[in-house]
């Protein structure tokens, strides 16, 4: 039956294969489209709960960070006599930076002025301005 039809259209065997492929693709596409329209809509995630949980987490972390931020006591800390542990009580000073301050003091000698602290690697102008109220040189 197909041979008569293709013979009537005067198609070569290669053209017949292409025509059958296109017809098969068309039928498969129609079947897929029908299936997608007939199936219920996909599951959608409600991000509102996750967003509120994330916002609460951020607030909790910010509060913990603010509470945990060590602030030096009422008296400014003498950076010429302060130990690494003492320097850790300053805001923005971690273990590595505290060790660098002590190492700089041992190698270059005592700090003459508070501004000399800026010579320590890792202390830029912004960090220095943050530290300035908490440090002294005696």
Question: What is the maximal distance between C-alpha atoms in the chain?
Answer: 109
Is 60 a domain residue?
A: no
Is 26 a domain residue?
A: yes
Q: Which residues of the chain have pLDDT under 50?
A: 67-69, 72
What burial letters (b/e) apply to 89-115, b meaning 16+ CB within 10 Å? ebeebeeebbebbbebbeeeeebeeee
Is 48 a domain residue?
A: no
Is 44 a domain residue?
A: no
Give the count of domains, the chain.
Answer: 2
pLDDT (0 to 100) of residue 22: 96
Q: Structural domain of residue 23, as residue ranges? A: 2-38
The structure's pTM equals 0.47
CATH code assigned at 106 = 1.10.150.320
Here the tokens at position 48 are 């509102």
Is 50 a domain residue?
A: no
Is 15 a domain residue?
A: yes
Is 29 a domain residue?
A: yes
Nearest alpha-carbon partner for 119 in 109, 133, 84: 109
Is 109 a domain residue?
A: yes
- What are the pLDDT digits (tens) for 8-44? 678 788 988 998 999 999 999 999 999 888 877 777 7
């Amino acid at each position: 039956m197909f041979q008569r039809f293709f013979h009537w259209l005067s198609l070569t065997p290669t053209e017949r294969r292409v025509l059958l492929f296109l017809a098969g693709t068309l039928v498969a596409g129609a079947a897929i489209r029908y299936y997608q329209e007939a199936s219920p809509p996909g599951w959608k995630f409600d991000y509102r709960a996750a967003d509120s949980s994330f916002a609460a987490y951020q607030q909790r972390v910010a509060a913990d960070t603010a509470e945990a931020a060590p602030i030096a006591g009422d008296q400014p800390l003498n950076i010429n006599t302060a130990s690494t542990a003492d320097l850790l009580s300053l805001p923005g000073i971690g273990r590595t930076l505290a060790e660098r301050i002590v190492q700089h003091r041992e190698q270059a000698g005592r700090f003459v002025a508070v501004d000399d602290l800026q010579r320590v690697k890792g202390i830029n102008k912004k960090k220095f301005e943050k530290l300035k109220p908490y440090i002294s040189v005696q």
